[in-house]
Structure 1
Amino acid sequence: MDSVHISVGIQLQAEDPLERERSLGLLRRIVRAKRIVEAANAKEYEYMEGSIPMEWDAWIRGRRKEPPSIEELLKNESSREQIKTKAKEVEEKDLALLAKEYKEGLVATPARTVAKGHAAATSFGKQEFNEEPTSTANTFQPGSWMPTSKKD
């Protein structure tokens, strides 16, 4: 590969030799090889991230020198499938163990919380007052209060 020299101008009063060489256009620029992928779907808007295998992506971006072989691609794909299978098995095992612990009473079941006054909920009927104050979005509902009887 021939080196390419580009002269962009001369700086007569360069202070260090490197700067002088740079101003004279004597430094070489390293030009990377252009790597292009011809996608199966030719329309750019149909591209989805992750549709190119990471081995090819690494080669395109210059993080690896040699393009991936078919054997490497197949090996890595089977490895990823094994990992997915093992992860699914571990998750099922964990859920079964958790269900067993709930059944035996070793672990308390999580309490279900109800979102009262949710923004998506429509309110029908009479508004109920509660002793506890509530706050949703921009509204504040103070708790109900009854005055105490007068003591004589």
Structure 2
Amino acid sequence: MSKIWGKIRGLFTNRSFAGTDKSGNQYFARTELIDGIMKEKRWVVFKGEHEPTSVPVEWICWLNGQRKRAPTPEEMADMEARRERVRHNVALLKKEEEERRAKAGSNNKRTSTDGKIEDTPAATSGTRGLKEKTTDQEGQEHESTEPSGSGSSFRPGTWQPPT
């Protein structure tokens, strides 16, 4: 019974505050003797509902012992600013990609007389068919039955093994 009482008392008296994150979660650590070895225990006290996904990566690394020191508020602000820059750059890249696809799509498609959109040869240039010609050392050409081509010409289930 005294071990249990000691553990409960140790939870409240022997802990040191490590910091808080922007969600208001509080992080603590304490050093205790386990099997003759001094080990540091680290834990989080959630603000409000217990939501493990609200813990930032830097604090997860500290909780798991991958970091020796708890992250500082300045470090957390720098990392948040970096994440925001990355989000902004990704949005710009997606926008540029959509514009490029729209431009390429309008240049390489034509409408047939029945109203269907067809690819022009310019749209499929640079892609290879399913059979590729290879040349051996004697200069003889052989057709390969292995699938080849770029992502735009890939069609699942079209390749059949040679018979």
Range into which the TM-score falls when normalised by the shorter chain: 0.3 to 0.5
Determine which structure has more spread, i.e. the larger CA radius of gyration: 1
- Structure number with higher helix proportion: 2
Q: Quick check: which one's strand share is greater?
A: 2
